[in-house]
Structure 1
Amino acid sequence: MNTRLDGKVAFLSGGGGGIGHASCLAFAAAGARIAVCDHDAARARRTAAAVEAAGGQAVALPADIREDAQVAAAVAAAVARFGRLDILHNCAGGTDPQDGNITDVGLDVFDRTMGLDLRGTFLCCRHAIPEMIRAGGGAIVNMSSGAALRGASPFHVYTAAKSALLGLTRALAGTYAQQGIRANVIASGRVMTDRIKRDWGELTEQDAARDPQNPVQRARDYPFWVGEPEHIAATAVFLASDAARMITGATIAADGGRSAY
């Protein structure tokens, strides 16, 4: 099966770090040209430089994906640079350490989390899809979480936002199939990005006290639950490629089986 992306242009939100950075490199290694969108201009430039150092083509596009006008401008800039848009991988998002139960969590946490995890993905799809239709079709890969597949997470805002992405992705798949667009979503387990290590620790016994989900025990129970950004990036490349032609509207549980058993 062909997982090459030669001739394709991929737009990645949150491309400056973590899963986004790894995905930019993986998409470029598969032959795609890369539009690196990130709220941090320096991080976007570093990722673009890393892609080019590896022999690929990339452009850095600083934008706050919660702002409609900035997303529209970033997508337009990507098309102006590369002439088309074929792939959208929405990586921007994350948990807020202040998240919690619905009766206790601050509404400021709700606004921040929904803005980044849901509104940002919504806006990127809103502006990328017309360009993908003009290009003759394409693939959308959204990022959710295993928390959206279970009812046990104590982070209720994050769970709500990531659960909404499952429904949004199915709606996109059904609406735009006739225009040649596939849409899938990855529900990931614990991915050891720099942000996760900073906010939640590195899965030591001491770090377990910082996380009410006790990730040390979860890692023992589910030995494939913990991974690196490159593992998710490889899944995203597959979903964006012609090898995944028959997959759309699907939730790919890359959570080490935690939502299954």
Structure 2
Amino acid sequence: MDASLRDKVAVISGGGGGIGHAAALAFHAAGARVAVIDLDPARAERSAAAVADAGGDALGLAADITDDGQVASAMAQVVARFGRLDILYNCAGGTVPEDGPVTEVPLDVFDRTFDLDVRGTFLCCRHAIPAMVRAGGGAIVNMSSGAALRGASPFHVYTAAKGAILAFTRALAGTYAKHNIRANVIASGRVMTERIIRTWGELSSDRVKNDPQDPVGRLREYPFWVGEPEHIAATAVFLASDAARMITGATIAADGGRSAY
């Protein structure tokens, strides 16, 4: 059994850049028709155009995933265009530099982060699942972070939000298995998206070889911790495919082993 998504329709939130953009191309390459949702209409159209240029069928939609009405409308447009919805990849999310320890972080950071990471994921599931049920089943892939698997992160709001996604995904798996819907999480390590590069700078495993002092010492111990958007996109394609039929309610730690040793 391979990871083909032929005849499937995949929706990607946050699909206008970074991992989401890479996923749009990866899902197309696996055979899916793709709907890209992004807050920025130009970014949504850019990803849809990239899929079309690669010979695929894609739809770009602008929507704020924290707004119930906009999410409902976006999912309805997907079904109207493609006739079904089989896969939901909740890729939208993130944190802000102002995040920090619970005793210090501004409360507006809590509200903004939970709105995007948790409420956004919740609303996309809320409005995609009924269409999946009508289609006879499907797969949900939610994005979390290695920060949710360890206690070392000083970004307590982001850690809490991404931890909530783990529990929510298990609840989805348990509730909708009878409808032939699987739900899993990717807890990623450091992925070199535009946002991460702006915040943390460029990192790569080659830096270990080129700098004996290695200012980012983790790379010596965890050479697989840093990756490209395409690495996470490939994991999402696998989890969405029938090749992962026996996997549901699981958290896949794509963090280069940082949560394991």
How far the C-alpha of 1:95 sits from its partner, in A, is: 1.7
Stretches of structure 2 lacking an aligned partner (at least 5 in a row): 205-213
TM-superposed deviation, 1:215:
7.8
SS at match of 1:139: strand
Q: What is the rounded CA distance, in whole Å, between the counterparts of 1:85 and 1:219 in structure 2?
A: 40
Count matched residues. Answer: 252
CA–CA distance in structure 1, aligned partners of residues 226 and 200 of structure 2: 13
Q: Distance in 2 between matches of 1:90 and 1:225?
A: 21
Note if contact 2:192-2:203 (Cα within 8 Å) is conserved in structure 1: no
Q: Distance in 1 between matches of 2:99 and 2:203?
A: 20
| Root-mean-square deviation (Å) | 1.1
- Aligned residue for 1:65? 65
Please give the alpha-carbon distance, in whole angstroms, between the structure 1 residues aligned to 2:145 and 2:60: 26
Query: In the alignment, does 2:252 pair up with 1:255?
Result: no
| 1:203 Cα deviation from its structure 2 partner | 3.0
Q: 1:250 to 1:160 in 2, by over 3 A?
A: same
Matched, 1:74 2:46: no
Provide the rounded CA distance (Å) in 1 between the counterparts of 2:159 and 2:14. Answer: 19
Tell me the equivalent position of 1:233: 233
Which amino acid is the alignment partner of residue 145 of structure 2? Answer: S
Q: CA deviation at 1:58?
A: 0.3
Secondary structure at the residue paired with 2:217? Answer: helix
Does structure 2 retain, via aligned residues, the 8 Å contact 1:203–1:215?
no
Q: Which residue of 1 aligns with 2:182?
A: 182
Q: Which amino acid aligns with 2:113?
A: T
- Report sequence identity in percent: 78
Structure 1 CA distance for aligned equivalents of residues 199 and 222 of structure 2: 21
Q: Over residues 93-116 of structure 1, what are the superposed CA-to-partner deviations in whole Å (9 max), with x where a residue is unaligned?
A: 012111000000001111110010
Q: Look up the match of 1:84.
A: 84
* Counterpart contact for 1:137–1:179, Cα < 8 Å: yes
Residue 9, structure 1, aligned to residue 9, structure 2 = yes
Q: Deviations over 1:115-134 (max 9, x none)?
A: 10110000000000000000
State the 1:220 CA deviation: 2.0
Aligned partner of residue 247 in structure 1, secondary structure: coil
Distance 1:249 1:147 in 2: 18
Letter in 2 for 1:159: T
Q: Distance in 2 between matches of 1:79 and 1:35?
A: 10
CA–CA distance in structure 2, aligned partners of residues 123 and 215 of structure 1: 40
2:126 pairs with 1:126: yes
1:62-94 Cα shifts (integer Å, max 9, x gaps): 000000000000000000000000000000001
CA displacement, residues 119-176 of structure 1 (integer Å, 9 cap, x when unaligned): 0000000000000000000000000000000001000000000000000000000000
Q: Counterparts in 2 of 1:1-261, with a 5 A limit?
A: 1-203=1-203, 216-261=216-261
Q: Is the 8 A contact 2:63 2:74 kept in 1?
A: yes
Cα separation, 2, equivalents of 1:200 and 1:118: 23
State the distance in 1 between where 2:48 and 2:89 align.
15
Q: Report if aligned partners of 1:85, 1:128 keep a CA contact under 8 Å in 2.
A: yes
- TM (normalized to structure 1)? 0.95
* Runs of 4+ more than 6 Å apart: none
Aligned to 1:160, the other structure's residue is in SS state helix
3-state SS in 2 of match to 1:95: coil
User: 1:162-199, CA deviations, whole angstroms, 9 ceiling, x for partnerless residues?
Assistant: 00000000000000000000000000000000110011
SS at match of 2:139: strand
Are 2:173 and 2:183, in contact at CA under 8 Å, matched by a contact in 1? yes
